[in-house]
A = this chain, B = another copy of it.
């Protein structure tokens, strides 16, 4: 039913925008849930997004919309605003969100806006901006509920009642020493169900799962997801509690990382929002194509060395696309399965050899299957059945080689601590084209010709 509601919001919004009916638009926005608006708006053209943003009732709603839209939106609407207005909007956000958005702004605007924030907010935001973008420090929220260990359950509930407005997500209560060191954690559920006069030290969980501010965000997300947590505390080396990473940030991280793997494997480069500029896209896709272009030129040269064969037996050229294409496809399949298996932690040290062996066998089976089909077609098309044999032989070897290489390359890269998602694609497809051409013209065709001759 929410989907219908969003559909309705979408259509109404479009109608008001087209008719330029400002009062209607204002009234609609007043009663719309911001999260619905964010979903609907993300498919609108930029200038319509701006028009809607301008008509939002207040700074708090604008802040809320920015947080729920995909990243470049915040930069796009805040950069052109007067610094005072941008600062008013950012003050309405949780500090971690404000820090993320500020980081994206033009430098001049960022400096002006920072100066206009409250001293407290300014300090917290600057602290957060100092951590790397992809670390626990960069995504943590520096606001949380921390109480001393001798608080009773009842006192804790009262304390929570006073604080709850300030804190984005109080699903856990952290128990700290006088020096702010993390001693234990308590879920809100456990607190609510505890006898009122019991001290929290007596029922808190002391074996706390925590991360350091430098922990990679992907590791944090995996931890939260593996252990079914709603938040994870971030502590420094002396165990001082610095902030918490909440589950909604984790969902964002998981989506980002899956996206990254997918685009990297397809050679489309680092994830770029679909509404980034044209040149960013071109620049992102250029490198993989360069690798592939280099490989292609080498293939042409290798084939050039066999030009006399090609001149005398041009029939073989007809089947080059299918041999290279099928090898490339099998190699991509194996590479994708392996990269994801590594990312999900399913291929540990113990499984590497087994994985390689299994993929080799899969490549060989599929290779033999398709070699039979294509070889038969080639034998029928040619006057010489042995031509079909040469083509089938190339195909079976090529496909087996492809699945082996497609598996071995990501395994080797992960061993060398290089992200397999980044380098596997270009390396595998380029090498396969080159190997395929060499195998075909250097081994299979000469072999068939020798048999015929």
The interface of chain A, by Cβ under 8 A from chain B, is: 1-3, 10, 33, 35-36, 38-39, 42-45, 48, 68, 70, 157, 160-161, 164, 170-171, 188-189, 191-193, 207, 209-212, 219, 222-223, 225-228, 230, 247-248, 250-251, 254-255, 258-259, 261-263, 265-268, 273-275, 278, 281-282, 285-286, 288-289, 292-293, 295-297, 299-301, 303-304, 307, 310-311, 314-315, 317-322, 324-326, 328-330, 332-333, 335-337, 340-341, 344-351, 354-355, 358, 361-362, 365-366, 369-370, 373-374, 377-378, 381, 429, 433, 436-437
Task: Please tell me if the beta carbons of B307 and A314 are within 8 angstroms of each other in the complex.
Answer: yes
How distant is A49 from chain B, measured CB to nearest CB, in Å? 10
Task: Please tell me if the beta carbons of B262 and A325 are within 8 angstroms of each other in the complex.
Answer: no
Greatest chain B CB density within 10 A among A2, A35, A212, A374 is at A2
A39 to B225, CA, bound (A): 11
Known: A43-B345, A68-B226, A310-B317. 10 other contacts (CB 8 A): A39-B226, A44-B348, A160-B192, A247-B251, A251-B251, A265-B266, A266-B337, A289-B330, A307-B315, A325-B328
Task: Please tell me if the beta carbons of B429 and A329 are within 8 angstroms of each other in the complex.
Answer: yes
A1 to B39, CA, bound (A): 37
Task: Please tell me if the beta carbons of A2 and B285 are within 8 angstroms of each other in the complex.
Answer: no
Task: Please tell me if the beta carbons of B262 and A350 are within 8 angstroms of each other in the complex.
Answer: no
Chain B, residue nearest A255 (CB): B254
Task: Please tell me if the beta carbons of A362 and B300 are within 8 angstroms of each other in the complex.
Answer: no
Between A and B, 24 residue pairs with Cβ closer than 8 Å are: A1-B210, A39-B226, A43-B350, A70-B344, A171-B171, A171-B189, A188-B188, A188-B189, A225-B255, A247-B251, A250-B251, A254-B258, A258-B258, A259-B344, A278-B361, A278-B362, A282-B365, A289-B370, A297-B322, A303-B321, A307-B314, A307-B315, A310-B318, A317-B320
Task: Please tell me if the beta carbons of B333 and A266 are within 8 angstroms of each other in the complex.
Answer: yes
Task: Please tell me if the beta carbons of A333 and B292 are within 8 angstroms of each other in the complex.
Answer: no
> A1 with B212: in contact, given A266-B332, A274-B355 (CB under 8 Å)?
yes
Task: Please tell me if the beta carbons of A297 and B377 are within 8 angstroms of each other in the complex.
Answer: yes
Task: Please tell me if the beta carbons of B209 and A346 are within 8 angstroms of each other in the complex.
Answer: no
Q: Which residues of B contact A295 (CB under 8 A)?
A: 325
A351 to B101, CA, bound (A): 24
Task: Please tell me if the beta carbons of A374 and B296 are within 8 angstroms of each other in the complex.
Answer: yes
Q: Which residues of B contact A10 (CB under 8 A)?
A: 348
